[in-house]
Amino acid sequence: MGKMTAIPTGSVELLPPLAHSSAASDELNKLLTMLKATCPEATAIRFDFDGKLRVHIDVRNRGDVTMIEAILPTLGGGGLFYGLTRGATPLHPFHHRISALVDR
């Protein structure tokens, strides 16, 4: 086994603190704020990323689905949300899901 030697005090420099980049979080929060202002209050909004950023919006009322589908393509000057689809909401059989790709 090797022998440990003491390092004299003051001979080790501290590394500068790492700057935490929050650019991705900031952008997602902007999108979330925009969606929450547009969608009904009881909506669950989630993002996922698997090579492409996608948003999932879950609502209870089927009428909200139609309203969201009409408004979503116009947000952010248009073209920000595209490729809208409807689908099942995992573990919530009484909700309706609208998904869209996000151009960011």
Q: pLDDT of 75-84, one tens digit each? A: 988 899 999 9
Provide the CB-side half-sphere exposure for 26 (13 A, CA): 4
pTM of the predicted model as reported, rounded to 2 decimal places = 0.76
pLDDT of residue 40: 84
Measured CA to CA, the distance from residue 84 to residue 98 in angstroms comes to: 7
Measured CA to CA, the distance from residue 58 to residue 60 in angstroms comes to: 7
Distances (CA, A) of 23 to 29, 32, 57, 64, 104: 10, 14, 23, 31, 12
Confidence of residue 90 (pLDDT cuts 50, 70, 90): confident
Least-confidence region, from 16-20, 54-58, 89-93: 16-20
pLDDT of residue 4: 65
Measured CA to CA, the distance from residue 39 to residue 58 in angstroms comes to: 10
pLDDT of residue 48: 95
Measured CA to CA, the distance from residue 55 to residue 48 in angstroms comes to: 6
- List, for residues 24-74, the tens digit of each pLDDT value: 899 999 999 999 999 888 789 999 999 999 999 999 998 999 999 999 999
